[in-house]
Structure 1
């Protein structure tokens, strides 16, 4: 028989220990383009947060305990490894060099293939056909380790003599160099300050030549698509030697395009109001796979109602795509299996199952057969998997704003099969209001045990995809231009207020707490300091959140060092007063909401000084504030013990403030 108890006090088997113990994640999927064997990069919090290259079919580690398969190019990294014909190449975080190892001899130490003692970082490696000892890669040069002086180029790594040769330079950023099947052409994406890649990136193509001395050179470079500050072109991939596929948001939404016979054109007969790809935050992001050697069929992920969906796309162009039946709501790193037509791999997740490596085959225009190859972690209670009956399902909502605009949110109701509700008449549940990072990000709807940790205890959970979030078209993103710290802060407060009134009546507005990480932490700190209703929330948590926009502009890493130009409406030199006005540190004296601050000691994106300044300001006037600094952590938690502590500390803070724990 089910029980009743006040919301927020339910007893749950989902503990922080069960969620974080062995909570390995799938960071990357890597396919050997010669043998079609599948590998993946697995993040392991229980091993100090290191990442390991693993042979997926046998679960055999290819890299041993000394190695960390990870790159810090653009700080957020991605694409640190490739495998070709049984030889793996990977970036090792310890010294940022690229190493080589035979996957058939994982017990042997990897050998370096890039120069020693150079302050270089590498990512997006690509084998050159007919010349497998040559790797084309993105190189980030930190010789002068200041954002304005860090150089990014496309280079050739000669793995026989560990030499580096520049291939393409001049832009501030490069990504995804892609060699055509016969090795005669190279495509790549590039962009420059002040653009982020989703604001004004370009695609280029050039002829790839081999000199008599065996060196690679580029010639006949031409611009394919994209326009600075106006059109984003991204995700290039060769369908054939003569046809390049990519995406462009020229229509206002990210849609597939092709470049053939010197001309770029959209693949669809008319634009679709869906984004066929996510904003390019990590170098490993990729939204589609070309499924046949003739380059006629592709499989694309797109965002619909905040969820990833799949479409079969005719790469010849001129027709609309076919929606494919698909249980996964997050789809990442889509890749073809080279030797088999219409088969592919991606990292997928449903609303009620763990993240998995998924193999699929397009068996009909709207049907795929799926097989889960690998799910690296599972929440266990007493040695058994937690029943799906404990999972609260996401409910996407489009809320009407007072000015007739639309605000996208996702709500998770309190849910625990052992409880039928509250024993307090007409009680509404407390609610965690979660603000995603970016700020040009999106709250995914795949299963998150961190959210279920709260909902199974009788809490509501609300993800706010505020105006400025991605996944709803360029216009929705650009509603934040010049208004960061304004529209996101308004939406942070408006969303729970709307859900606490008719026709929803879902939550108790007096027991709404707010949390967010990085840029989400900035929105949290802004909401409780200089927002339109700074006393609305009962408590708040800032996870490595930004408190000082002036210091952010001065000290943040290269990738985001000019991001705030568009977000705030100008450079700090031109509009310093805006930076100062919207910095929570300058309004800390107004913070009366109890605040928990969680921060990584080694964070290079938002250094700990930002957290400590806001903490000191509140502490000096005897405000309610707690601060926890995690040693060895950067921008987010990678170590199991810290992940567990952060979960328990946050819940305990809310329970104490709301009086839920006696």
Structure 2
């Protein structure tokens, strides 16, 4: 019925004469309400390897942003509305649950405890706590021993010291029968991804030390397991891959009892590798290195970019090529490495998981569809005959009346563009979305170019993919252009591209953003109006926004953007280093000071003041909208309030909105809606564009 209504609407649109109106004033059915009321999203996919049942974690803005464990095919919630299947480990969370033999094990966000829940009933069961109450602990990345499933290994983040940068991270064993906790591995600054071999005789994990982030110097260790005094212990730990500050090894998993799979950027790109435990030999899974990254940066403990399939005979990987995800199959049993690139309609592929009978599931998204859970057979992938079965879109329950389904006809498709930076500094990767609305054929003003939103991703070690994002279409359907900038420092283009930002954060990213805006608004592109370009970003992207309007080198650079919007952006780098959480507390060393690291306090202060927008408020002439969460631990609200108060005191045009109960990003429906409407209204007032419905 719903599909028929969409088709009918499409046919009616085709029969209606297309109109002309000034860019930015087009009437659009894409409202903030229609986006946020259909904004439930898939956060992770989980498979019970015993029952072969598929589950997923679903974020629900309409339920105050909580995450729910759902049995995918039936759509049944396995926990009631008082539970939030989420972890605060490393603030970015991830890895909050596993399922095994009809039971779920999960972290509950409100108290940080691990719970076990029976998944077999028709209605949500009452979860049973497995870890003590009233402890300042956070848990993630659970692994059950395959034959003694009462032993669960997890990452433990201990916040007994209230200074967020002093949290202690380790691997622990939770005896789920005795409900006791024992230490397993400690000494590194961070741990992640413990995984037992199929027979349980070994365990592998990833660890890293400050000042590395995991994608810069992650290391992989393997050890033998044994049992004594009703406890799980390890012996003979061996370092098998990764070098501090030089080579990152990540994402370990077992193919067999003696073969480990992992990724390494030893070639300059993140490529797949294996390690033979019996011979202690590492080797590449590729005939020759490929200039693609086969994994994203390890920001979330829930990230995992491949699935071991066919009982350890092969691996399905996801690589990033020209800003989109591409599926690869790598055979582990051929006489030589065998790699097959898979044809797929999906530009975004996440959380690939193996099923029995040679199948996989993943979260797939096309350029004009929302994220869906998709199933296909491995053999059909290899033979390029893949039939992708959508087994579950995210549910769309919400408070209030239902919004109409949004038509794919409204979607502006991505246009990847590679620009060249001045002075032979290399390529710059951007993605442009042109104004598009089937009711309009262009502007009624002769020669008018559209206004454009330049969007700066967070991280800064991250990238913007090309899957459908209705927030972008909210603008493009109103006659705006949208430009995503994968600036120097972005991932997906190799380690050298990431390292362009070393020592240059607040410089290269700013220059790249300005260059992208100027390039798209001039020949040979001439796609956007040079006088009506806005810039937006969150977190690290918010810092780039603030820097672009305050510390850009020339006065002409400072006037490129007509308006700006910063969400939980950084205004004072020294304060960030002082108050941010442990995971990123040394991230600034490389971003700001490069290979030199340390320096004296006096030298550091000089650089911090040169780069921090708070010290250059007198140069800010661009109208600015600041959005901030009240309980953000990554970029505390003081960062927003400092620069807001300073600009206000100097008579600048600045607006500020604090979202109560929100952290580093918006999870609640009402705040997602308000932030989108507020941003468009702000741009319209500054640029003199009358907002249509």
Name the TM tier (shorter chain): over 0.9
Q: Which residue of 1 aligns with 2:561?
A: 537
Higher mean displacement: 643-652 or 363-372: 363-372
Deviation (angstroms), 1:383? 5.3
What is the 5 A alignment of 1:182-581?
182-211=199-228, 213-260=229-276, 261-293=279-311, 295-316=312-333, 318-319=336-337, 321-337=339-355, 339-341=356-358, 343-364=359-380, 365-367=382-384, 368-377=386-395, 384-404=404-424, 405-532=426-553, 533-569=557-593, 570-571=597-598, 573=601, 575-581=604-610
1:138 matched to 2:155: yes
Deviation (angstroms), 1:107? 3.7
> Matched residue of 1:656: which SS?
helix
For 1:554 and 1:130, locate their aligned partners in 2 and report how far apart those are by CA, in whole Å.
45
Work out which of the residue numbers 76, 82, 85 in structure 1 matches 2:101.
Answer: 85
> Matched residue of 2:531: which SS?
helix
For 2:686 and 2:117, locate their aligned partners in 1 and report how far apart those are by CA, in whole Å.
53
CA contact (8 A) 1:19 1:379 kept: no
For 1:391 and 1:636, locate their aligned partners in 2 and report how far apart those are by CA, in whole Å.
25
Higher mean displacement: 470-479 or 363-372: 363-372
For 2:38 and 2:67, locate their aligned partners in 1 and report how far apart those are by CA, in whole Å.
13
Q: Which residue of 1 aligns with 2:11?
A: none
Deviation (angstroms), 1:500? 1.0
> Matched residue of 1:36: which SS?
coil
What is the 5 A alignment of 1:611-626?
611-626=640-655
For 1:88 and 1:509, locate their aligned partners in 2 and report how far apart those are by CA, in whole Å.
54
Q: Write out per-residue CA displacement over residues 146-203 of structure 1, whole angstroms, 9 at most, x where no aligned residue.
A: 2443111111111112111111111000110010000000011110000000100111
Q: Which residue of 2 aligns with 1:643?
A: 672
For 2:302 and 2:373, locate their aligned partners in 1 and report how far apart those are by CA, in whole Å.
15
For 1:515 and 1:571, locate their aligned partners in 2 and report how far apart those are by CA, in whole Å.
31
Q: Which residue of 1 aligns with 2:617?
A: 588
Deviation (angstroms), 1:382? 7.9
For 2:383 and 2:194, locate their aligned partners in 1 and report how far apart those are by CA, in whole Å.
31
> Matched residue of 1:216: which SS?
strand
Deviation (angstroms), 1:375? 1.1
> Matched residue of 1:347: which SS?
strand
Provide closer, same or farther for how the CA distance between residues 352 and 283 of structure 1 changes in structure 2, counting only shifts above 3 A.
same
For 2:405 and 2:545, locate their aligned partners in 1 and report how far apart those are by CA, in whole Å.
35
Q: Which residue of 1 aligns with 2:10?
A: none
For 2:352 and 2:29, locate their aligned partners in 1 and report how far apart those are by CA, in whole Å.
35
> Matched residue of 1:122: which SS?
strand
> Matched residue of 2:210: which SS?
coil
> Matched residue of 1:376: which SS?
coil
> Matched residue of 1:273: which SS?
coil
For 2:413 and 2:243, locate their aligned partners in 1 and report how far apart those are by CA, in whole Å.
40
For 1:315 and 1:382, locate their aligned partners in 2 and report how far apart those are by CA, in whole Å.
49
Deviation (angstroms), 1:332? 1.3
Which structure 2 residue ranges, 5 or more long, are not aligned?
A: 1-16
CA contact (8 A) 2:175 2:231 kept: no
For 1:542 and 1:619, locate their aligned partners in 2 and report how far apart those are by CA, in whole Å.
16
CA contact (8 A) 1:18 1:379 kept: no
For 2:181 and 2:45, locate their aligned partners in 1 and report how far apart those are by CA, in whole Å.
26
CA contact (8 A) 1:437 1:519 kept: yes
- The structure whose residues are more often helix, as a share, is 2
Deviation (angstroms), 1:116? 1.7
> Matched residue of 2:387: which SS?
strand
Provide closer, same or farther for how the CA distance between residues 603 and 571 of structure 1 changes in structure 2, counting only shifts above 3 A.
farther
1:602 matched to 2:625: no
Question: What's the TM-score, normalizing by structure 1?
Answer: 0.97
> Matched residue of 1:131: which SS?
coil
Q: Write out per-residue CA displacement over residues 520-547 of structure 1, whole angstroms, 9 at most, x where no aligned residue.
A: 0000000000113112110000001000
For 1:488 and 1:84, locate their aligned partners in 2 and report how far apart those are by CA, in whole Å.
44
1:14 matched to 2:30: yes
For 1:366 and 1:552, locate their aligned partners in 2 and report how far apart those are by CA, in whole Å.
51
1:657 matched to 2:686: yes
For 1:514 and 1:148, locate their aligned partners in 2 and report how far apart those are by CA, in whole Å.
31
RMSD of aligned C-alpha atoms? 1.5
1:55 matched to 2:76: no
CA contact (8 A) 1:323 1:366 kept: no
Q: Which residue of 2 aligns with 1:165?
A: 182
CA contact (8 A) 1:22 1:46 kept: no
What is the 5 A alignment of 1:92-131?
92-105=108-121, 106-131=123-148
Deviation (angstroms), 1:242? 0.5
For 2:234 and 2:275, locate their aligned partners in 1 and report how far apart those are by CA, in whole Å.
19
For 1:373 and 1:531, locate their aligned partners in 2 and report how far apart those are by CA, in whole Å.
49
Which structure 1 residue ranges, 5 or more long, are not aligned?
A: none
